[in-house]
Structure 1
Amino acid sequence: MENGKIRWGIVSTAKIGREKVIPGIQRSRTGIAAAIASRSPVVARDAASELGIEKAYGSYEELLSDPDIDAIYNPLPNHLHVPVTLQAVEAGKHVLCEKPIALNAKEAEQLRALPKDRLVAEGFMVRAHPQWIKAREIVRSGELGELKAIQAFFSFFNTDPENIRNLPGLGGGALLDIGCYTMLAGRYFFDAEPQRVVSLIDRDPEFGVDRITSAMMDFGGGRHLNFTVSTQLTPFQRFQLVGTQKRLEIVIPVNAPQGEAVPLRLDDGSILGDGSAETLTIPPCDQYAELVDVFGRAISGEAPLPYGVEDAIQNMKILDAVFASADKGGWIEIK
């Protein structure tokens, strides 16, 4: 650690790292973006120069062997999440890995064998954003009455045949890329685990990946999560948390603008068409910086890690069940 801060190494020059997570590390209170690696030394040096990072490596192995690096951020394509995370922990590093943690639960379960003194977490920045934290506080306060239904929609349009989201061998498709957020909303806001799921998937005939996935999850006690995600629809995202007394709308639930205020809408439904909605403004923040600080405080021992390997495995079990339901054409129990 340098001046009490965690020195981060970033594996690859992926767009999410360059544009979101590395700036988040640099804005965080606990971390320093100290090194970046690419399979190309030139690409690594260019990225380091552009982002103001001290060290650049021409291979992932060089970065992982650097004794000055405390933690690794892994934004590689989905099929490399587990292999490189295993390598990083074996090299003595803590790892924050992009979602989804793996291609399936069986692969994710390999992470259980890692040394417990090295922390591994799945990079769901939304759980560190004050808007999700505030929304759950409202749910827990009882202001919505009993939270009974969550409706989540998340879509964008991408038909680039070279994009990793359209390559099935690399873990592409809507469910793994963005459906993981909608599923997570149910676990987070219901404070419970889904018991069973039924789903419907439409696959792109050329790419073979799921381009529209819809599902209903039963959380027990009459609590339902319904979601639709798509990689080939008009860009849109919105989550509705609907209780017996009020509903809460998260307007930009996933891609909240870094450094900008965002609204929550609380509505008792007394005037239809949002006429009775009250807007709650969440102050500006950088949810990636917040996530880095959550992980950083866990590394330094200041606070426990709220979501670790077991949480990530559970996420994959649920996503596996969504795929299995579509294949079966009926309900799948989640165990």
Structure 2
Amino acid sequence: MTPIRWGILGAAHFAKEHMGPAIHAAAGAELAALATSSARKATEFQAFAPQLRVHDSYDALLADPQVDAVYIPLPNHLHVEWSLKALAAGKHVLCEKPITLQEADFEQLITARDQSGKLAAEAYMIVHHPQFIRARELVQGGAIGDLVHVDATFSFFNDDTNNIRNKPEAGGGGLRDIGVYTFGAARFVTGQEPIAVPYAKLRLENDVDVFAQVAADFPNFSYAATVSMRMFPRQEITFHGEKGVLTLTCPFNANVFDAATLTLENADNTVTTERWPGVNQYVLQVENFCNSVQTGADYPCPLEFSRGTQHMMDMVFAAGGHPA
């Protein structure tokens, strides 16, 4: 089967460190092109992909007939614009999260996807990792009995005012950067959607959220999350049922923060631990994307799923008195 030829819009650090190498390593994919005006940055990508063609503009890359799909790691406020341009150019699109800054923008993305016949998706890599597929299987299969409560924490420290995460005009903030994981993970594992956000405490600096404490109600369980860009790094998500507890201690940055580990404790005092030390969720994401393009198979994270996470995000911003 002919590989999907990828281009990357912009020489972002994350693209250089993670997604570029993942595309290059993934079965069914070929990293073919990069759009950047920086010769130095281009050389850094060519160090692991020597045959990479370099375009000096995003538009030039989108006009390249030898590019089938584009990965978009641009600042948040540019995601919708360039996703739409890529679809209009006849390219499949994998765009970094959050793909939009508010739920309403999904309508035009979904319409453009359907009209183009191309695959467009948010780069939400955790749903491709076997730890989350296993967690969903256990929770929905009754391994912890009826689910009562979910709690999630994700934090890191970044007070660099020059970083786009701290710039309101670029769609910065902790919730958009990492809160999407604490929200989407609960939705993916449980298959349920929030019905209310009765509490959201947000602390802002320079008009971006740097700390958020959230409580939400789902149909059959309660939910709590802490998200911060001003705390020591920590990440964990726990699913607490009537008959057991399921904990993922490295749910979001597997192999970077720690090894992906899932622990299941049951009422009979049995503790089971599963680990995935060698799995690269970025490679799996690219391979699933390519497989969907090549075979028509359902993609694990369609725009409709991402729209649900953004809906919850909008609910949280509204509850915290800081509408998106």
Question: Is TM-score (shorter-chain normalized) higher than 0.5?
Answer: yes
Match of 2:235 in 1: 237
Residue 138 of structure 1, CA deviation = 1.3
Show the 5 A alignment for 1:190-205. 190-205=190-205
The 1:4/1:94 distance shift into structure 2, 3 A limit, reads: same
Give the structure 1 partner of residue 282 of structure 2. Answer: 288
Question: Residue 61 of structure 2 aligns with which residue?
Answer: 63
- Match of residue 46 from structure 2: 49
Residue identity opposite 2:229 in structure 1: T
Give the drift of 1:16. Answer: 1.4
Partner amino acid, structure 2, of 1:99 = K
Give the aligned partner of residue 163 of structure 2: 163
Pair 1:303 & 2:302 matched: no
Q: Is contact 1:199–1:216 with CA below 8 Å preserved after alignment?
A: yes
Counterpart position of 1:142: 142
How many residue pairs end up in the alignment? 319
CA contact (8 A) 1:35 1:48 kept: no
Three-state SS of the structure 1 residue aligned to 2:210 is: strand
Q: 1:238 to 1:88 in 2, by over 3 A?
A: same
Match of 2:34 among 28, 33, 36: 36
Is the contact between residue 9 and residue 70 of structure 2 (CA under 8 Å) also seen in structure 1? yes
1:208 maps to which residue?
207
Q: CA contact under 8 A between 1:42 and 1:58: conserved in structure 2?
A: no
2:129 & 2:202 partners in 1: Cα distance? 31
Q: Could you say what secondary structure the match of 1:238 adopts?
A: strand
CA distance in structure 2 between the partners assigned to 1:111 and 1:43 by the alignment:
33
In structure 1, what is the Cα distance between the partners aligned to 2:229 and 2:87? 33
Determine the structure 2 residue equivalent to 1:227.
Answer: 225
Residue in structure 2 matched with residue 100 of structure 1 by the alignment: 98
| Residues 127-168 of structure 1: per-residue CA shift (max 9 Å, x gap) | 000111111111122111112211100000000000011001
Report if aligned partners of 2:251, 2:260 keep a CA contact under 8 Å in 1: no
Deviation, 1:200, is: 2.5
Specify which of 278, 287, 311 is matched with residue 317 of structure 1: 311
Alpha-carbon deviation of 1:264?
1.1
Mark the runs of 5 or more structure 2 residues left unpaired by the alignment. Answer: none
Q: Distance in 2 between matches of 1:217 and 1:43?
A: 46
Q: Structure 2 length as normaliser, TM-score? A: 0.93
Deviation at 1:47, TM superposition (A): 3.2
Q: Within 2, Cα distance between the matches of 1:234 and 1:55? A: 40
Equivalent position of 1:217 in the other structure: 216
Q: 1:270 to 1:115 in 2, by over 3 A?
A: closer
Cα separation, partners in 2 of 1:278 and 1:312, compared to 1, 3 Å: closer
Instruction: Look up the SS of the partner of 1:114 in the other structure.
Output: helix
User: In the aligned structure 2, how far is the partner of 1:139 from the partner of 1:115?
Assistant: 32
- What pairs with 1:4-19 in structure 2 (closer than 5 Å)? 4-19=2-17
Letter paired with 2:262:
L
What is the rounded CA distance, in whole Å, between the counterparts of 2:133 and 2:113 in structure 1?
30
Is the partner of 2:47 in helix, strand or coil?
A: helix
1:305 is displaced (CA, Å) by 2.0
Q: Is the 8 A contact 1:269 1:277 kept in 2?
A: no
Q: Which amino acid aligns with 1:148?
A: V
Asked if 1 retains the 8 angstrom alpha-carbon contact of 2:10 and 2:73, the reply is yes
Retained in 1: the 8 A contact 2:6–2:71? yes
Mapped partners of 1:287, 1:293: distance in 2 = 10
Shift of 1:202: 3.1
Measured after TM superposition, the shift of residue 4 of structure 1 is: 1.4
TM (norm. structure 1) is 0.90
Q: 1:97 to 1:115 in 2, by over 3 A?
A: closer
Same amino acid, percent of matched pairs: 37
Matches within 5 A, 1:177-192: 177-192=177-192
RMSD between aligned alpha carbons?
1.9
Secondary structure at 1:118's aligned position in 2? coil
| CA contact 2:11–2:42 (8 Å) conserved in 1 | no
After superposing the two structures, state which structure 1 stretch, 47-56 or 26-35, moved more.
47-56
Which shows bigger deviation, 23-32 or 58-67? 23-32
Cα shift at 1:313 = 2.2
How far residue 199 of structure 1 moved from its aligned partner, in angstroms, is 3.2
Give the secondary-structure state (helix, strand or coil) at the position aligned to 1:150: strand
Counterpart amino acid of residue 169 in structure 1: E
